[in-house]
Structure 1
Amino acid sequence: MKKILISLLLVGYSLLSFSQPFTNEVGIDEHLNDTVPLNLAFINEQNQSVTLGQLINKPTILAFVYFDCPGLCSPLQEGISDLVDKSDLVLGKDYNIITISFNYKDTPEKAIQKKANFTTKIGKDKAPYWYYLTGDSLAIVKILNSVGYKIKVAGVDYIHPSAIIMLSPKGKITRYLYGLTFLPFDLKMSVIEARKGISQPTINRVLQFCYTYEPEGRRYTLEITKLVGVFTLIVIAALFIVLVSRRKKKD
């Protein structure tokens, strides 16, 4: 009986850990210096089974989307395409890109359509090095957990953050870049760091907190309520410090 109870507890813990990315929280808990599970298998846009280890053989950009996304996903992929086009680094020579759908219902057929939409600008010679992957729910949850990517289910859609993650040739997480557009300079620095296996902390995560995406207008808008809330907390903290200081002086 004791062994059965222990087994049930372990199964329950495993199920709980597998469901972690799909919670009421949305965001990213950075896992700098961790390594993604290179043995995870996915299906590429050619309907072939591949492991992450087969694809990550140089600095690699990792991005998460789902193919029916009405909001962030298309602008994010457009931003990546623009980055490839503007950078003096060469996709396929200096780095690779992996886009993974976190919707297990997405298919290779959808993947190849999406890839065609966003690789036209970068040229046929570079397109083979931008991989579009789909997978089963277990593989998806494992990769999301490994990078700290948290998603909230909203009906048939998902609420999710917008970021790209840089991996070293050995799959080590070296940098997170947030937003929908990225600078060629940031890409160059990220590739250099990833090549050496050096991680860098993120300095612009505040942008993800202060702005929210409006799908209709395809733009970020400032969330006044959040800023007011933060400002109010700062003011209250400052007043508290002043009052405590005055009381100490009187004593």
Structure 2
Amino acid sequence: MIKALFAVLLLSTCMTFAEAVGANNALRKDFFDPELLKIDTSKYLGNYVSNTEVVLERGERVKLYELLKGKPTVLLFSYYTCEGSCPIRIDNLNRLIKRSDSLLNRDFRVLVLSFDEKDNLETLKKFKESHGPFTSQWVFGLIPKENIETLTNSVGFRFFFSERDKTFVHTNVYVFLAPDGRITRYLFGINPAERDVRIALAEAEGGRISTNSVVDLALLVCYTYDPSRSAFVVNPTIIFGGVGFAALGSVVMLAFISSKLVKREVQ
């Protein structure tokens, strides 16, 4: 009797273990390494984005470089049925532009392109209606199925479709392009700071001076990009230079005051 009971317990334990292993394998099957989504920016900065054909919201097909038209451009890869970070990333940038005079009145472009081959002009239209109105800088489009891999690979953008969650997993990034199509900056995240966008646009302009970019070019001198934060921080050379200049000024001022006091005593 005891042997029979022991056998039943052993069989039950083995079955439970087998189920656990099976569940673990199922999880592993759906598991992906987040490192695969990272963009090695050092490999892509300065490269040219692929000049593939894209489809605009009215159905016309144009080359990507035709949309740049001599303007610095913020490129966003998204998809229009996303219920996660894509609409948040777009809405945040749209609000930022609307409340910033320096961005609202600036001559640049924001290009949103869907990498989902199932997106169409109808899903694009619904997205714009749900999240608009958008400022004049915005252009929305689709990437034809045959061009998706070529275009996204040219900037290092990677994405995966999760069958379990029925959604795309992808990098949240704003890609800044120069008017000639060169990649000049990546800003990661879904809520960019106004200062970072302005400096990144100044970089993308390639030093071209305009009424709206003079201040931003000054910011470009005072700030440097920190990859660990995906943000611009105060340039340390400016800090130390400022401290040194202040110290030098203090010494000169002190010497001037001392010489005045010495002259008074002599008199």
The TM-score by the shorter chain falls in which range? Answer: 0.5 to 0.7
Q: Given the alignment, which residue of 221, 226, 248 partners 1:203?
A: 226
> Which residue type is aligned with residue 67 of structure 2?
L
> Which residue type is aligned with residue 159 of structure 1?
V
Moved more, 53-62 or 107-116: 107-116
* CA distance in 1: counterparts of 2:96 and 2:144, whole angstroms: 29
1:60–1:169 Cα contact (<8 Å) kept: yes
Are 2:127 and 1:114 aligned? yes
TM-score when normalising by structure 1: 0.65
CA RMSD of aligned residues (A): 2.6
Structure 1 residue 135 displacement after superposition:
2.2
Are 2:174 and 1:161 aligned? no
Q: Given the alignment, which residue of 74, 82, 85 partners 1:69?
A: 82
Q: Comparing both chains, which one has the higher relative contact order based on Cα–Cα distances under 8 Å and sequence gaps of 6 or more? A: 1
Question: Residues 185-237 of structure 1, C-alpha deviation per residue, up to 9 Å, x if partnerless?
Answer: 11111111111179998524457xxxxxxxxxxxxxxxxxxxxxxxxxxxxxx
Structure 1 residue 61 displacement after superposition:
0.3
Q: Given the alignment, which residue of 78, 87, 96 partners 2:91?
A: 78
Question: Residues 49-93 of structure 1, C-alpha deviation per residue, up to 9 Å, x if partnerless?
Answer: 121111012000000111121211111111111121122234585
| Structure of higher CA gyration radius | 2
Question: Residues 142-188 of structure 1, C-alpha deviation per residue, up to 9 Å, x if partnerless?
Answer: 11101101112211321111110110001111111111111221111
Are 2:117 and 1:104 aligned? yes
* CA distance in 2: counterparts of 1:92 and 1:206, whole angstroms: 28
Q: 1:89/1:109 Cα in 2 relative to 1: closer, same or farther (>3 Å)?
A: farther
Q: Given the alignment, which residue of 46, 59, 73 partners 2:58?
A: 46
Hey, what does 1:26 align to over in structure 2?
37
* CA distance in 1: counterparts of 2:121 and 2:96, whole angstroms: 24
Are 2:196 and 1:186 aligned? yes
Hey, what does 1:174 align to over in structure 2?
184
Are 2:152 and 1:144 aligned? yes
Unaligned runs of 5+ in 1: 1-22, 208-251
Structure 1 residue 131 displacement after superposition:
1.2
Hey, what does 2:248 align to over in structure 1?
none
Q: 1:202/1:144 Cα in 2 relative to 1: closer, same or farther (>3 Å)?
A: farther
- The percent of aligned pairs where both chains have the same amino acid is 27
Unaligned runs of 5+ in 2: 1-31, 209-219, 231-267
TM-score when normalising by structure 2: 0.61
Aligned length: 180
3-state secondary structure, aligned to 1:28: coil
* CA distance in 2: counterparts of 1:87 and 1:174, whole angstroms: 22
* CA distance in 1: counterparts of 2:54 and 2:62, whole angstroms: 6
Q: 1:184/1:48 Cα in 2 relative to 1: closer, same or farther (>3 Å)?
A: same
* CA distance in 1: counterparts of 2:105 and 2:80, whole angstroms: 24
Q: Which has the higher helix share?
A: 2
Structure 1 residue 140 displacement after superposition:
1.2
